[in-house]
Structure 1
């Protein structure tokens, strides 16, 4: 569980602390040095880094060739990075990683929320959150690469700007169907269909909470 003081100090202020905590629990790690490397659907086994330097070395070895997620938010390490030399140690700093990760997750959350028609209510929030976590883990929502999708709904949940240029290597290796879900998540529909018209049926939540 992420420390409450760390959330207060470092998390994106537009996300409720409860959502931040749930996000890290569902998609992140307790260890800021956690580096997860995937090649397609396969997890690449690597020694667990014991120091920030070792973690950064592991990231640099795999960036551009595999999908690399890092830190307590499992932030996509290749996002906005053209070369391994541009990687910053902030990735494995707990506060900086939480700040970057929650800002980017807030963008993903807004994209999902807008797709559902900005519903309200606890049930709607639960569904939006679960889909946002799946989109965070896979990099895709309804066939769209969420980390590259323009963020046009900042005012909808009052979050700060989380836009960042995406490294093509992130999208090349982060396959749409390579979804990694928490054990509590329901099996997700295949997001590999680039044609939105072929997407699976989702529940219409637009009426939830309406007066």
Structure 2
């Protein structure tokens, strides 16, 4: 369980603390050194890291060949990383991981919300949040790579044309090749902050 004080101190201000808690509970990990490696839909068994050096070594060994998620928010380690040597210890620092992860998830949520027409209906917001969680876990929403997508917070808000939904099986079964992701982790955080749009998910009730 992540401490509320840590969330309050480190989470991106675009997300309310209650939403950050739900995000971490559903898509994150309690261990800041947690490294999850997938090859396609298969989880690759790796030794449990006991310190930051071991965690970073695990990431370097798998980055570029497999999908690697790291830390409390299970941040996609390949975002913006062209070489394994460019990895920073921030990935396994609790506060830095929460800061980067929540900033990137806030962008993912805005991408999903834009597809829905930026709804404010309290009955719709839980579905938007659920789809944003799936997009975070898979890296895709409606066939688009959400980590590379342009942040709707930087655009003039317009009503998007509805697209035909992909099947849930297709959406949930595809994992991104994070080594090809473009926006740097630092840029993702900066872009989300620059957008200045606070996501109001007050329509979402208690924890699922």
For the criterion TM > 0.5, the same-fold answer is yes
Which residue of structure 2 lines up, in the alignment, with residue 91 of structure 1?
Answer: 91
Q: CA deviation at 1:152?
A: 2.3
Residue 188 of structure 1, aligned match among 168, 186, 190? 168
Output the CA distance in 1 between the equivalents of 2:8 and 2:80: 26
Quote the residue 1:200 is aligned against: none
Paired residues, what number? 166
Answering whether residue 130 of structure 2 is matched by residue 122 of structure 1, we say no
Distance 1:38 1:13, change over 3 A: same
Q: Is the 8 Å Cα contact of residues 114 and 152 (structure 2) preserved in structure 1?
A: no
Q: Give the C-alpha shift of residue 119 in structure 1.
A: 1.1
Q: Which residue of 2 aligns with 1:143?
A: 143
Runs of 4+ in structure 1 deviating by more than 6 angstroms, as ranges, are none
Larger RCO (CA under 8 A, 6+ residues apart): 2
Matches within 5 A, 1:1-211: 1-154=1-154, 188-191=168-171
Give the drift of 1:124.
1.4
User: TM-score, normalised to structure 1's length?
Assistant: 0.74
Distance 1:189 1:124 in 2: 21
C-alpha contact 2:33 2:92 (8 A) present in aligned 1: yes
Report deviation, 1:35: 0.0
Give the unaligned 5+ runs of structure 1.
157-176, 178-186, 194-208
Q: CA deviation at 1:154?
A: 5.0
CA distance in 1, matches of 2:122, 2:46: 40
Instruction: Please give the alpha-carbon distance, in whole angstroms, between the structure 1 residues aligned to 2:153 and 2:93.
Output: 29
C-alpha contact 1:110 1:154 (8 A) present in aligned 2:
no
Distance 2:80 2:23 in 1: 22
What runs of 5+ residues in structure 2 fail to find an aligned partner? 157-165, 175-202, 204-208
Does the 8 Å CA contact 2:37/2:44 hold for their aligned counterparts? yes
Give deviations 1:158-186, integer Å, cap 9, x for gaps. Answer: xxxxxxxxxxxxxxxxxxx9xxxxxxxxx
